[in-house]
Amino acid sequence: MIAALEPSPTPARRPSEAAPQLVLLSALAAGSYARVAQVSAHSDDLRRLQALGVCVGRRVQLVKGGDPMIISVVGARVGLSARLAAEVRVTPIAAEDSTFVPLANAS
């Protein structure tokens, strides 16, 4: 006889452990800080964003919205087109949050 498998219960999240909210980089208000969570660009665009410092785990600030928008990343101000910015999802953070988040695929 084969017993029916019951799904294991999913642990409940505490209110303080809510999943981080991902938003488009372009949706931030000017002056806001965020941590890069996803970059969904392909090949050349991905390499371009990485060369500019826009990588998963990196802290960025939206200096000025629009097209092009200006962000601050690794101590430099960078202009990004709306098309490139649409490929970047971020998690808003407090300005004083300077916690280092290591990159999972860093070598």
Strand-by-strand arrangement of the 23-24 sheet: 23-24, 88-93, 33-39, 59-64, 69-73, 76-80
Looking at the DSSP bridge assignments, the partners of residue 39 are 88
Q: What would you measure as the largest C-alpha separation in the chain, in angstroms?
A: 66
Higher-pLDDT residue of 80, 98: 80
The confidence score (pLDDT) of residue 25 equals 94
User: What is the pTM for the complete model shown?
Assistant: 0.71
* Residue 66 tokens, joined: 């629009």
* Residue 3 tokens, joined: 């017993």
pLDDT digits (tens, 9 = 90+) for 23-35: 999 999 999 999 9
The confidence score (pLDDT) of residue 96 equals 74
The confidence score (pLDDT) of residue 46 equals 93
Band of the pLDDT at 5, cuts 50, 70, 90? very low
Nearest-CA neighbor of 85 among 44, 28, 43? 28
